A and B are shown apart, each in its own frame.
Chain A
Amino acid sequence: MTDVSLSAPGSNWFTRLKTGRAGPVTVVLMFVVVIWYAGAVYLNAPQVIEQFERAKTPWTMMDLADKSWSMKRPVLPAPHQVAVELNKTVFQKNITSKRSLVFHAWITTSSTLLGFAFGGMLGIALAAGIVLVRTLDRSLMPWIIASQTIPILAIAPMIVVVLGNLGLTGVIPKAIISMYLCFFPVAIGMVKGLRSPDPLQMDLMRTYSATRSQIFWRLRWPSSIPFLFTSLKVAVAISLVGAIVGELPTGAVAGLGARLLAGSYYGQTVQIWSALVVASVLGMVLVFAIGFIEKMTLKAMGTRP
């Protein structure tokens, strides 16, 4: 690798392809697509063969492949079928339409971001309490860890029902499920981050007889920023999972989770896969957005590039 980059004669696209990440990523993507097409034939073939035999038509392998990549309700849709569906539901529909995936993605994004904001703040508050108050350190930590051993799918319907009775519906119950999942990495990361100043930096504050709040805001908080962003990237991804899970048991009519559920009711596998693709892209966009803010913040804080 080093040899290549050292002898690279400038930055034309070919050398960049060889040294950068784009090349390997493309190769892996091509592999995935090939396996996907093969898998579609393998999984859909029994149904296709049955159709051929019922109609008593002779068939070749080409016919088999062709048919299994163009079924209405395949077990596994082919990539181009998903692409066509995505084009139809993302680009061709008005974004306020209930058939638009952009509309559903926005519903899910709004509860993801709300839950992420709640969870982030809760995580930071818990971490600050744990670091600053000795009794909280002993009493809270076991509960925080225990909270994550409860399977969220099992309690999600309960949360929705209970909050519904309290008059909270719509985005709030979903956001609370997201919050429940995403406060955890933030709390754990921030406890570590707020404790990261080295003894010398702490001694220095002591020689100035700094107050606890001065130590917190001028030393602990800035030291914890790199830890904060690492946990926020994990948190935003699972906040999305929480939002989708929150849409499954609620009988929600909108959101990517509702789209997945509706698709599975009616055997619309193409619709399910399109929703999955959109959910994955959404997750990536959210993580990259946090990564971008991280880069800007650390640059402003003068971190060595």
Chain B
Amino acid sequence: MTASQVTPGAAAGNVVETKKLSLVFGEGETAVHALSDIDLTIESGEFVSFIGPSGCGKTTLMRVIADLEKPTGGDIMVHGGTPEQARLDRAYGYVFQAPALYPWRTVRRNALLPLELMGMKSELREERVAKYLSLVGLEGFEKKFPWQLSGGMQQRVSIARALGFEPDLLLMDEPFGALDEITRDHLNEQLIHLWQQTKKTVVFVTHSIPEAVFLSTKIVVMSPRPGRILKVINCSSPPDRTLDWRETTDFLEIAHEVREALREGHSYDD
């Protein structure tokens, strides 16, 4: 059984649209319901976070959007077509949990990789790489090899690499999960700035409630066994927010709402 395509044009302006989307790994008694009845719409320009405990399917959902996994039921549309078509069109940039840099390439050449694969002209791609490396604050590090950089800088290279070919959709799978909190806060601020500058649609997977509330326009709270959406919370954060906004009552109220939703999903049970 494969997912059939939703009639094209049904939802122009929606970047991602799913209906009754499900994914089952394996068969019979050992089957794992990674995703079950996912109904979700992501509009252009939104910053959407998936939050939930381990095994709730947030990464799997992201991988389905990216066509790295095939759903076993329901419908999904990315940019009005199938995820596969979106992948072939290079419609999204994916930032993984780990930087996944190629150790034999310098920072510059790592960022060049997708542009090389796409056959972009040499001058244009050098220009793009220079632009996005400076946007993530890595000017002067072009000739360094990945092992010469800190974890946070490596992840910034991988963000620059994903931005380089200017996709409208940015998929970020716990990009800051392995970093210390200070670095993470700093990168969160940079990411918000970046998002406001580029007006991209961002889908972001995280474990962290403060991170989700700080970054998102929409928070999708998920729960495991089977992986499903518990609640979608809209977030009205001020556009020019800084880290200080996390101490306001607005912020705390939304964080509380997310935590309550997670509790309803038995995320805090043993």
Contacts and interface: CB of A to CB of B under 8 A. Distances in A.
B239 interface: no
A222 B113 CA distance: 14
Contacts of A205: 117
A208 B147 contact: no
A106 to B, nearest CB: 36
Nearest to A197: B102
Contacts of B194: none
Nearest to B147: A304
Residue among A203, A225, A302 with most chain B CB within 10 A? A302
Nearest to B113: A218
A209 B87 CA distance: 6
B102 A219 contact: yes
B96 interface: yes
A214 interface: yes
A303 B117 CA distance: 23
A289 to B, nearest CB: 23
Contacts of B98: 200
Interface residues of A, number: 20
Residue among B88, B97, B145 with most chain A CB within 10 A? B145
Contacts of B147: 302, 304
Interface string B100-144: 101111100000011011100000000000000000000000000
Contact of B96 (A203, A208, A225, A302): A203
Nearest to B106: A302
Contact of A204 (B67, B100, B104): B100
Residue among B66, B97, B103 with most chain A CB within 10 A? B103
A72 interface: no
Contacts of B145: 302, 304
A204 B90 contact: no
Interface in A203-251: 203-210, 214, 218-219, 222, 225
A207 B104 contact: no
B266 to A, nearest CB: 31
A280 interface: no
Contact of B90 (A200, A208, A304): A208
Contacts, number: 54
B68 A303 contact: no
Contact of B68 (A198, A201, A206, A225): A206
Contacts of B92: 207
A225 B103 CA distance: 12
B94 interface: yes
A302 B106 CA distance: 8
Contacts of A61: none
A6 interface: no
A214 B145 CA distance: 21
B36 to A, nearest CB: 24
B100 A201 contact: yes
A214 B117 contact: yes
Residue among B93, B98, B113, B116 with most chain A CB within 10 A? B113
B66 A208 contact: no
A198 B88 CA distance: 22
Interface in A30-46: none
A301 interface: yes
B90 A209 contact: yes
Contacts of A208: 90, 113-114, 117-118
Contacts of B97: 200
A302 B103 CA distance: 7
A204 B118 contact: no
Given A207-B94, A218-B113, A302 B87 contact: no
Nearest to A201: B100
B106 to A, nearest CB: 7
Contacts of B104: 222, 225, 301-303
Contact of A303 (B87, B100, B103): B103
Nearest to B105: A302
A209 B86 CA distance: 10
A58 B90 CA distance: 96
Interface in A165-221: 198, 200-201, 203-210, 214, 218-219
**10 closest A-B pairs (Cβ-Cβ)?**
A302-B145, A301-B104, A207-B94, A200-B100, A304-B147, A222-B104, A208-B114, A208-B117, A209-B88, A210-B117
29 contacts: A201-B100, A203-B68, A203-B94, A203-B96, A203-B100, A204-B94, A204-B100, A205-B117, A206-B67, A207-B66, A207-B87, A207-B94, A208-B90, A208-B114, A208-B117, A209-B88, A209-B90, A210-B117, A214-B117, A218-B102, A218-B113, A218-B117, A219-B102, A222-B102, A302-B103, A302-B104, A302-B147, A303-B104, A304-B103
Interface of B: 66-68, 87-88, 90, 92-94, 96-98, 100, 102-106, 113-114, 116-118, 145, 147
Interface of A: 198, 200-201, 203-210, 214, 218-219, 222, 225, 301-304
Given A203-B68, A219-B102, 14 more contacts: A198-B100, A201-B102, A207-B92, A207-B94, A208-B113, A209-B87, A218-B113, A218-B116, A222-B102, A225-B104, A302-B104, A302-B105, A302-B147, A303-B104
